[in-house]
Structure 1
Amino acid sequence: MAALEKRFKPEQIVNLLRGIEVMMANGKTLMEACKQVGISDKSYYRWRKIYGGLKVDQARKFKEIEAENARLKKLIAELSLREAMLKEVVKGNY
């Protein structure tokens, strides 16, 4: 049975990271703080690597740029494939 995967928006992640840091400053361990907000320590470290030091609006913009980058990469791949197919047609090797 597949585990349920909870998706967090970038602004939620930044707020969770800040909350965990506050809990740790108040004496909780990382494991306790992560458990209280409902994430694993692995998620914390991964998110901190990606979103650490970002503000909420910066995190949102970061995700938008990542999505745009993925869209452009897909477009480039499609255009490159189309170009290769057209070169083959011109050569007559179809």
Structure 2
Amino acid sequence: MDRRRFLTVSQAAELLGVSAMTIYRAIDAGEFPAIRTRGRISILAKAIDLMEEAALVQNALVDSAQYVAQPLEAGCAEVPDPFGRRGISAS
């Protein structure tokens, strides 16, 4: 069975063992990566996978706020990489 690329807030909350309200508050505070489409919020399953992988590789606490994309500065063609590696091209 194919894994979903996007999760609802409730699905992400269940997966992480927190309440949906905790996820909504983190999104509103800019501390959790999400996509809003016409008022509907979707969570990228890959973002959760990356956070999980980082916690395992680093054997340390990972803060979801590190994974929130920063706005691109004028003339900047790279997206910051949460792992501290060279940025990912946005073009």
Decide: shared fold, TM above 0.5.
no
Greater C-alpha Rg: 1
Compare the two structures and name the one with the higher strand fraction: 2
- Work out which structure has the larger RCO, using CA pairs closer than 8 Å and 6 or more positions apart in sequence: 1
TM-score (norm 1): 0.27
